[in-house]
Amino acid sequence: MHAAMSDFVYAPPASDLDILHEDHELVFVNKPAGLLSVPGKGADLADCLIARLRLAFPEILLVHRLDLDTSGVMVFARTPHAQRHLGLQFEKRQTRKTYIARVQGLVAGRAGRVDLPLIVDWENRPRQRVCHATGRPAQTDWTLIRHEDDASRLRLSPVTGRSHQLRVHMLALGHPILGDPLYATGAALDHPRMMLHAQSLRLRHPDGGRGVTITTPVPF
């Protein structure tokens, strides 16, 4: 296991559920940083967002995930139909996710696209790495919001949905996400949380196909 994770202790926040929207097919929730989306292996990793949601919505079904250290908008299905409908939207890249990140250093330029294929770094799991030979295609669009001291606030829009995609792509740019326990080093690690937040999610509602956009404020 990577050195940054070897002394990892899971201490999920005790915060109440932050429901952003609910209806007969969907539940949108603001996941706090430090809470797993789904249970890990072992009783000590059982507390997670979907387990907490099931206390209020016993029928809840998983659609997608956010990393442990990422906060922000997640959608869950309340029916098998909604789960299938949303699953296809994610698979066909018909959803639109927007993240806000604070990264180390002053990013040059106003906007760009990172197009670097990713693969599991097997010797350092769960880390991922860029691999042009056998990696899966991955693209991330970024826009500079502003410089903040020796950091930059970016709007990130993943075109693909690879594991750790935004984190590895920002590292590859030379600007790791602040507080990232896997990919940041030195002063960039010295933050109370990883500075990555899923700000908005746009999708088509399973009942009728109308566009739905749910947003949540950035907590940093």
Compute the distance between CA of residue 47 and CA of residue 31 in angstroms, rounded to an integer: 13
Whole-model pTM: value is 0.94
* Cross-strand partners of 211: 204
Compute the distance between CA of residue 5 and CA of residue 164 in angstroms, rounded to an integer: 15
Catalytic residues: 67
Superfamily of domain 3-215: Pseudouridine synthase (3.30.2350.10)
Cis peptide before 126 (omega within 30 of 0): yes
Write down the domain spans for the chain: 3-215
Within 10 angstroms of residue 7's Cβ, the number of other Cβ atoms is: 7
Per-residue pLDDT tens, the chain, 220 aa: give them. Answer: 344 455 789 999 999 999 999 999 999 999 999 999 999 999 999 999 999 999 999 999 999 999 999 999 999 999 999 999 999 999 999 999 999 999 999 999 999 999 999 999 999 999 999 999 999 999 999 999 999 999 999 999 999 999 999 999 999 999 999 999 999 999 999 999 999 999 999 999 999 999 999 999 999 9
- Which amino acid, residue 123? E
